[in-house]
A and B are shown apart, each in its own frame.
Chain A
Amino acid sequence: MEEDSGFGLLDYMRSDEEPELRRMAIAMGSIILLIFLVLYDVLYPGHGFPVLSDVIPLLSGVMDSTIWFFILGIMIGFFSLVASVLVGAVKE
């Protein structure tokens, strides 16, 4: 380790624990998506989003109860469980 005659900042700035690449990619993706949405709204005010604005009205009247959010969670959980079983079976 180099000598740091100041406030010991170098020690703090050189961490050995880098964040996982996967998490970084997800975080960066989310930020870019947010920036794109804000930019789109600034550049085309009052216009619906392409594709999304056409699809969402199709779901109104179908998913109009809060229970659907919970069911969505259950479905994601179930499929992640099935995926884990399949991955485990293939791996072994």
Chain B
Amino acid sequence: MNIMDTIILMMLIFWGALLVFAWRLRAGLGFLGDAVAGMTGFMLGKALGPGATILEGRTGTASASWINHGIVWLFIGASITFIDLWLGHSPNALYSLQSWSWDLTGNAAYTPSIMATFGGMIMLLIGSSLHIIPRMADTPLSNETNAGLMAMVFTGGILLFVIGSQFQNDIGNLIAFAGYNIPALAALAIIANLLLTIRKQTTGLEAPQWFIIIGLVGWFVSSITFVVLGPDAAPHTLWISEQLHIGMFLCLIFGVVYYAIPSTTGIPIPSRSLVALTLVGTVVTVSPMGYDPASLSFLELAWLPLDLGVTAGASFPPCGAETDCTSSLVITTLMALSIPVMFMFSTNVLTAIRRSGAIFEDTALTLIAFGAFMLPIMSITSLFTTLDAMSGSNELSAAIGSVRIGAVWGAIIPLALGGALAIIPDATGKDLESQSSGIRAIWILGLGIVGAFMVSMMSDFAEISFAEAGLEEGFSSTAAELRPIASVLFYGVVLGVLFLAQNVVRGTRSVDTEPEFSILGPSRYVISGSTSVRDLLTAGVTLDTILTTDDGIDDSVGPTKLSEEE
């Protein structure tokens, strides 16, 4: 099978599987049947034996547990990423640890940084999903105890991977492999739990629910597609599978954010058609973000027993007179098509937040706004570096690591963390300790990642210019001087995430835990001045919303008042 057939076949299997799943989901999950549902419920509950009684199983505890674990792992992920960046320019900085037989050379910091960062992010997203799905289904979570228990299992898995990755021998690799797969099993139990929950839903699925379920299921489908196509196709399918993972994580993030904004502000997402297009677009396209051939060391541990035979990053033939470049065109088109999807999401979200007037006042919304602003920028930047690497040009290969870190910590993590922070008061009944210190943490995080990204790009381009000048034997002193500055600036991300995490764990019990907004639209709406019906519909007003005027009493200067009456 040639490359083109492999890529097209992979995408067709991925789309086909998700399409069939979505079709059955739309029909109301009747296909599960009472027997299958009963069996799954038994597996999640009584089959665990004494394990099922470890936790109390109060409503909302599972969601809170996943979010709290997730935010701590995110801090650890940021810390290890910082250490990895530092070791990039000073490989011997931690050599003294070798006296304890702890060898932090090679990929010893890189692989756990990926696991802890993405593990923490997935935990935040699953925690949010465990709140959103039952709430929108208007039914309790199918098995709260199991979901809470799975948070511990997931955390145990990440910890195993981090420990295993420090022993660079066969036993260490095996521990890391187990550590990678245990969280996958926990996530599978969560999917079953969520499907059993929406099985009881009497109304149709809402948009955020679609995003979350498709994102979680698509994550597994992309891995299964990769395995089904076998080791011969692995040099290409492995990388496409990883990019599909990123796409599905974005799908999850979009679902959480699309729920978080209306539930926090009372202002709906402006355009429902853009929401639907984002869902379709996320599934149909391939994200260029997060691609880095260096992550092969991580994937080797994750897929250990499969013996993939993959030794390099993805490489698709460039177009030439004698070469068939259809695979390059397919991948280029699918990745380029993801850019408008990012813009759709970003525009929709930023408009909603701007209308709420909560930016720089509410921690969660400010973080979401930052991520939504950075998302299209980082997508376009990633498109350049990813396609450059995949086409074999490798002119921008020096910048690919910086772009990966910029995309992950500048766009993906702020959106996931912001979404979870917005949900925390509703899910756990606890407010953040202080909104002002939360905003300060976002400033530190934002300046840290933007500064680190820009300085490391300056360093990379200094190196690229040096190489282009034909000085291959030398090394750019400018690049060498800029790298430590980029590392120190990234420490801002570590501090930002730490302060946000402290803000969450020290949160105070809130008085009113009920959300102010129904996903169906505001019940009352205040009109100030003359307004068109289009503006009202854009603001989410429905046929049942009661409109009132403010009689022009408020003549203060400020943003146009379009918010729901308090």
Contact = CB atoms under 8 A, between A and B. Distances in A.
Interface of A: 61-67, 70-71, 73-74, 77-78, 80-81, 84-85, 88
Nearest to A59: B96
Given A78-B75, A85-B68, A88-B506, A65 B498 contact: no
A81 to B, nearest CB: 6
A64 B96 contact: yes
B96 A63 contact: yes
Interface residues of B, number: 23
B498 A77 contact: yes
B502 interface: yes
B255 to A, nearest CB: 28
28 contacts: A62-B96, A64-B96, A65-B92, A65-B93, A66-B93, A67-B93, A70-B82, A70-B491, A70-B494, A71-B83, A73-B491, A73-B495, A77-B494, A77-B502, A78-B75, A78-B76, A78-B79, A80-B502, A81-B72, A81-B75, A81-B498, A81-B502, A84-B505, A84-B506, A85-B68, A85-B72, A85-B505, A88-B506
B86 interface: yes
Q: Which of B83, B94, B96, B494 has the largest number of chain A CB atoms within 10 A? A: B96
A89 to B, nearest CB: 10
Given A85-B72, A85-B505, 5 more contacts: A67-B86, A81-B501, A81-B502, A81-B505, A84-B506
Interface string B64-87: 000010001001100100110010
A88 B505 contact: yes
B90 interface: yes
Contacts of A85: 68, 72, 505
Contacts of B506: 84, 88
A71 to B, nearest CB: 7
Contacts of B93: 65-67
A61 B72 CA distance: 31
Interface in B385-421: none
Given A63-B96, A65-B93, A65-B94, A74 B502 contact: no
Q: Is the interface of B mostly helix, strand, loop or mixed?
A: helix
B86 A70 contact: yes
A3 B116 CA distance: 65
Contacts of B495: 73, 77
B96 A61 contact: yes
A contact patch SS? helix
B494 A84 contact: no
B505 A67 contact: no
Nearest to A92: B509
Contacts of B76: 78
A53 B284 CA distance: 65
Contact of A67 (B68, B83, B494, B498): B83
Nearest to B491: A70
A74 B79 contact: yes
Contacts of A70: 82, 86, 488, 491, 494
Nearest to B505: A84
Nearest to A71: B83
B505 A77 contact: no
Interface string B477-491: 000000000001001
Nearest to A74: B79
B100 to A, nearest CB: 10
A65 B96 CA distance: 10
A78 B83 CA distance: 15
A77 B76 CA distance: 10
B75 to A, nearest CB: 7
B96 A67 contact: no
Contacts of A88: 505-506
